[in-house]
C-alpha cells in the first residue's frame, strides 16, 4: 500500500486562502488520573460567557509554505491545527457558541504563565509544562491576546535553551517523549506564526527537538502499540514545525508498519507480525474471543482504555498528514472507521460486543473522537452513527483530557 498524495490543487488553494485572509501579512503505559472535559449539548448553542470580537484578533504572521530540506513544501500552520480550523473555532468562541465556548473557558484555565527558568525533568512536571504551552498557543490563536503568545513562547524558549533530553532511548522514555512531543510540537507550530517570537529562539527550539526528542521518537517502542503510535503522533507535528522532510517521511513509514499490526482487518488474511509481539499475535492482542474489523491490538487489554489512546494518536498523525497534503485517511478508512464505530458501540452499551473474555467495557471516556469524526463525516460526508451518538451524548459532556488527548472537542468539532 502507499499513501495517496492529494492533488497539487489541494495544496495551492489553502495557501491562496491563507494569503487572502492575512496569513502572510506583516501585521510505562500507565496513565495518571485525568481531568474531565466540559459539559456540552449535542448541538451548538449560544453561551453568554464569551465577549470576544473577531476584530480583536490580528492576522497571524506565518509563512504559508516553506520548503523542507529535500523539497517538500510544508504548509504553516499545519500540524494538528490548520488555519481553517483555528479561524473556525475562533469565530465560534467569539459568537459564544457551544461546545467551543464552554470548552475554551475550561482550557483557558491552563493558559497560565510558567514561573520556572529551566525545563522540568519529572514526567508530571513535563506534562504540565507541555499542556500549558499548547493551551497558551491555542488561546492566542483564538483571541489574539498577546499575553498568551508570550506565555507560550516563554515555555518553549526555556525548553529550547535548557532541556537536557531523556537519559536513554528506551523503555518509558520512549512513551514520555511521545506524550510531551505531541503537545509541544503542535504548540510550537502555532507559535511560529507569532511575529514576536525571536527567530533565534525559534531555531533553538527546532534544534532542541532534533537533538533531544528525535532519539526517543525515532527509536520505535516494542511495547503495546499505543506507545509507538504516540511517538508517531509527536514525530509528525515536530517534523512540520522543523520543516523536516526526512522526519515526516519516517513518520509515514512507521504508520504503514504499525496500522496493520494495531487495527485488525479481516481482508489482511491474518495479523502482520511486528517487533514486540513475541511471535504470538493472539497473546499480544490479549486473546480476543472474536476477531472482527475494528478490533485493536489493545481492545481486550483493558477493554477500551488504552485503545482510545492508540486510536487518538493514529488519528492525530493522519490529521497532520492531511494538513500537509498526504491522505492517510482514505487508505486507512477500512481500519479507522470500523475502529471508531466498534469502540463507540462498546462505550455506548458497556458491552464489548463479544470481542473479549471480559465483556464489560471500560467506563473511561476520552475527548478524542472529534478528529476522526470530523474528517469522515464533516469532510467526506460518511455516516458514523455510533461515533456521532457517543460524541453528542457522552464525549462532549464528560470526555476526559489527558496527556496527548487535549480538548479535541474544542479544536476539531465541526472544523472542516
DSSP-assigned states of every residue in 273-312: P-TTSTT-HHHHTT--SS--TT-BTTHHHHTTHHHHHHHH
Q: How far apart are CA 397 and CA 156, in angstroms?
A: 32
Q: How far apart are CA 284 and CA 300, in angstroms?
A: 10
Q: How far apart are CA 166 and CA 174, in angstroms?
A: 9
In the prediction, which pLDDT does 148 show? 98
In the prediction, which pLDDT does 29 show? 39
Taking a C-beta distance cutoff of 8 angstroms, is the pair 231, 223 a contact?
no
Among the listed residues 396, 368, 395, 370, the one whose alpha carbon sits nearest the alpha carbon of residue 40: 396
In the prediction, which pLDDT does 402 show? 96
In the prediction, which pLDDT does 161 show? 98
In the prediction, which pLDDT does 11 show? 38
Q: Quickly name the fold that domain 4-22+64-412 has.
A: Glycosyltransferase (1.50.10)
In the prediction, which pLDDT does 324 show? 98
Sequence-distant (6+) residues with CB within 8 A of 348 are: 386, 389, 390, 393, 394
In the prediction, which pLDDT does 174 show? 98
Residues in the chain: 416
In the prediction, which pLDDT does 65 show? 63
In the prediction, which pLDDT does 167 show? 95
In the prediction, which pLDDT does 69 show? 59
Q: 58-94 pLDDT, tens per residue?
A: 456 676 566 665 688 999 999 999 999 999 999 999 9
Taking a C-beta distance cutoff of 8 angstroms, is the pair 357, 295 a contact?
no
Chain centroid to Cα 234, Å, comes to 8
In the prediction, which pLDDT does 415 show? 80
Taking a C-beta distance cutoff of 8 angstroms, is the pair 305, 362 a contact?
yes
All three cell numbers of 125: 512536571
Enumerate residue ranges in the chain where pLDDT < 70: 1-61, 63-70
Q: Is 165 left (phi over 0), alpha (psi -120 to 50) or beta?
A: left
Q: How far apart are CA 139 and CA 111, in angstroms?
A: 7
Amino acid at each position: 500500500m502507499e499513501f495517496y498524495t492529494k492533488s497539487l490543487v489541494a495544496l495551492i488553494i489553502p495557501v491562496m486562502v491563507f494569503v487572502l485572509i492575512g496569513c502572510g501579512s506583516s501585521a510505562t503505559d500507565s496513565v495518571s488520573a485525568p481531568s474531565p472535559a466540559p459539559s456540552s449539548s449535542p448541538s451548538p448553542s449560544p453561551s453568554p460567557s464569551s465577549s470576544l470580537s473577531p476584530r480583536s484578533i490580528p492576522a497571524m504572521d506565518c509563512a504559508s509554505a516553506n520548503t523542507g530540506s529535500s523539497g517538500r513544501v510544508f504548509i504553516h500552520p499545519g500540524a494538528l491545527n490548520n488555519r481553517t480550523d483555528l479561524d473556525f473555532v475562533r469565530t465560534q468562541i467569539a459568537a459564544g457558541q457551544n461546545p467551543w465556548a464552554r470548552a475554551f473557558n475550561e482550557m483557558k484555565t491552563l493558559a497560565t504563565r510558567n514561573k520556572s527558568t529551566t525545563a522540568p525533568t519529572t514526567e508530571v512536571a513535563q506534562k504540565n509544562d507541555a499542556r500549558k504551552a499548547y493551551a497558551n498557543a491555542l488561546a492566542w490563536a483564538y483571541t489574539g491576546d498577546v499575553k498568551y503568545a508570550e506565555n507560550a513562547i516563554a515555555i518553549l524558549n526555556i525548553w529550547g535553551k535548557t532541556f537536557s533530553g531523556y537519559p536513554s532511548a528506551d523503555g518509558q522514555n520512549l512513551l514520555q517523549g511521545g506524550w510531551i512531543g505531541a503537545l509541544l510540537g503542535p504548540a510550537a507550530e502555532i507559535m511560529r506564526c507569532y511575529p514576536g517570537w525571536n527567530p533565534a529562539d525559534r531555531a533553538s527550539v527546532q534544534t532542541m527537538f532534533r537533538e533531544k526528542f528525535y532519539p526517543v521518537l525515532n527509536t520505535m517502542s516494542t511495547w503495546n502499540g499505543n506507545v509507538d503510535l504516540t511517538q508517531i503522533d509527536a514525530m509528525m507535528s515536530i517534523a512540520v514545525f522543523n520543516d523536516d522532510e526526512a522526519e515526516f517521511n519516517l513518520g509515514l513509514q512507521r504508520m504503514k508498519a504499525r496500522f496493520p499490526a494495531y487495527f485488525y482487518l479481516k481482508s489482511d488474511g491474518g495479523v502482520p507480525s511486528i517487533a514486540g509481539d513475541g511471535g504470538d499475535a493472539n497473546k499480544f492482542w490479549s486473546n480476543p474471543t472474536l476477531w472482527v474489523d475494528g478490533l485493536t491490538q489493545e481492545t481486550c487489554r483493558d477493554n477500551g482504555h488504552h485503545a482510545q489512546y492508540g486510536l487518538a494518536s493514529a488519528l492525530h498523525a493522519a490529521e497532520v498528514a492531511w494538513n500537509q497534503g498526504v491522505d492517510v485517511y482514505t487508505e486507512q478508512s477500512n481500519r479507522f472507521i470500523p475502529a471508531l464505530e466498534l469502540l463507540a458501540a462498546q462505550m455506548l452499551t458497556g458491552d464489548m460486543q463479544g470481542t473479549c473474555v471480559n465483556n464489560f467495557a471500560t467506563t473511561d471516556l476520552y475527548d478524542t473522537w472529534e478528529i476522526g469524526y470530523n474528517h469522515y463525516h464533516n469532510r467526506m460526508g460518511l455516516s458514523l452513527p455510533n461515533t456521532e451518538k457517543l460524541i453528542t451524548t457522552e464525549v462532549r459532556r464528560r470526555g476526559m483530557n489527558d496527556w496527548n488527548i487535549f480538548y479535541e472537542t474544542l479544536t476539531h468539532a465541526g472544523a472542516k
